[in-house]
Amino acid sequence: MFDLITIIFLGLIVILVFFFTILSFWSFFIVRVPFVPFSRKKIEKILGFLNLEADRKIYDLGCGDGRVLKMAYERFGVRGIGFEINPLAYLLAKIGTWQYRQKIKIYRQNFLKICLGEPDYVFIYLFPGAMAELERKLLAEIKKPCQIISFIFYFPNLKPTKILEIKTGSKIEKVFVYSLND
């Protein structure tokens, strides 16, 4: 019924899917955040509310497939740096932002273990379990004025300067905007 080449090819596909699935779950246990892509429409709405300025720098912590960085560059000319530990999402981000590789950099690193430097904006879409640790890191490492944009989840201690509501269908989701060092 099947020839040997077809069986080997299908076997390799199954092994690759299994491998990436295991790595994805493994990365969830490291940073407590799974890869959850969200729609271009939501990203457009979020970016539309913000006053992003060209030639500024945005970090996306847990950048997934790089959509936010790509759209921020396409729409506003904002340079981007993304950090993603999930190997499949990292690969998708590298491919998806390849044409902008001079302006958008993607790193396969745990953002909790790097020095954040001096971004102008930080975008996050993380689960509550990561928010307290990230809040401490942001407060300790970011020294210049910076706008933090968090989709759905909020920091336990910081007070947002703005709370935006995004309506998608019958659902209303919140975006918390924080200003550090103003």
Q: Tell me, what CATH number does 79's domain have? A: 3.40.50.150
pLDDT, residue 7, reads 77
pLDDT of the residue at 168: 77
Buried b (16+ CB within 10 A) or exposed e, 40-50: eebbebbbeeb
Domain tally for the chain?
1
Residues of the domain holding 72: 40-180
The CA distance from 56 to 73, in Å, is 10
| Confidence (pLDDT) at 31 | 53
The verdict on residue 19 lying in a domain is no
- Whether residue 97 lies inside any domain: the answer is yes
Which of 124, 130, 135 minimizes the C-alpha distance to 69? 124
Cα 148 from Cα 61, distance rounded (Å): 11
Q: Which residues of the chain have pLDDT under 70?
A: 1-2, 19-36
CA dist 175 and 47 (Å) reads 11
Residue 29 falls within a domain, yes or no?
Answer: no
In a domain, 155, yes or no: yes
Query: What pLDDT, on a 0 to 100 scale, did the predictor assign at position 28?
Result: 59
Any domain includes 96? yes
Tell whether 30 is covered by a domain.
Answer: no
Say if 63 falls within a structural domain.
yes
Q: Would residue 137 count as lying in a domain? A: yes
